[in-house]
Amino acid sequence: MTLPDTATESVSGSPRRRGRIALIVGLVIILAVVATAVGTEVYARKHYSQCIAGQLDKSLGSKVSVHFGAKPLLLTYFDKKVGSVTVDSDDAQFGPAIGMKVRATLHDITIKGSNATVGSSDANANWSDDGIAQTLNGLVSGVQSNPSAGTLEVRALGGLAGLQLRPHIVGNQIQVDTVNANLLGFGLPTDLVDGIVKTMSQSLQAYPLDMKPTSVTVTDSGIDVGLTGGATTLQSDSNANNVSC
């Protein structure tokens, strides 16, 4: 007995339909898994960004932006490790310093409870002429960097007096020396010179993450300081509402 064509198509088409249904279901499952993974990754990046930023805000004296490396932070939920983090601050404050811009990279971060440990770090801090002048507010009337001489030309007493200051590294600290100081060809009062040098030095002594200066360069627009640091622990600010790691 020969089956009608429609019956033949119904019987032979059934496996194909089941195959298409299985394919569609599989694609839906895959898309759901991918969407869940992407959503979890976005949440993890926001979570760890807030966690690390909250622990660095106090060290840098300002709000920071955090950028992660290539490692998926979804994995950090399991191994508690972050490959590297780049941190930017447009208004960092070290000691009395105002207007320092800092870009730091933290390496080999491990999340431990509410804190995080850092294997090593390096950074570049830029202190502009305007920032230096604001820091020395009341003592000077202007600052102009001179990269060819490696000095800062500081104007005081309404521009009548001038100082030449040279920052350089001694040991593992930056020292500021007075190259020249005069008022219409005469020496400046010692208290004024000492006050300017002291404030400059204090602004270049303390850095976050126990970092130490490795270079200091006078540029066209201010001072660039290269920094490196070893193993350290990020500490939460108990007075702030930080996100727990």
Instruction: Spell out the residues 6+ positions from residue 42 whose beta carbon is closer than 8 angstroms to its own.
Output: none
pLDDT of residue 186: 61
Which secondary structure element, helix H or strand E, spans residue 192, and what is its range?
A: helix 190-203
Which is nearest to 230 in space by CA: 214, 209, 213? Answer: 209
Residue holding tokens 């431990």? 112
The model carries a pTM of 0.74
Nearest 5°: the CA angle 54, 238, 67 is 10
Q: What is the dihedral of CA 113, 114, 120, 124, to 10 degrees?
A: 160
What pairing do the DSSP bridges indicate for beta strands 212-218 and 100-112? unpaired
Q: What is the dihedral of CA 66, 70, 76, 80, to 10 degrees?
A: -80
- Kindly report, residue by residue over 178-222, the tens digit of the pLDDT: 888 877 666 666 677 888 889 999 889 888 888 999 999 999 999
Q: What is the pLDDT along the chain (245 residues), one digit of tens a residue?
A: 454 554 444 544 577 777 777 777 777 777 766 666 566 556 666 666 666 766 676 666 667 777 776 666 666 767 778 878 888 888 877 788 888 888 989 898 887 766 778 899 999 999 999 999 999 887 888 999 999 999 999 988 777 778 899 999 998 899 999 888 877 666 666 677 888 889 999 889 888 888 999 999 999 999 999 999 999 887 665 554 545 55
pLDDT of residue 128: 94
Do 237 and 55 meet the contact criterion of CB atoms below 8 Å apart? yes
pLDDT of residue 145: 95
pLDDT of residue 11: 46
Domain map (residue ranges) of the chain: 84-104+119-234
Residues in the chain: 245
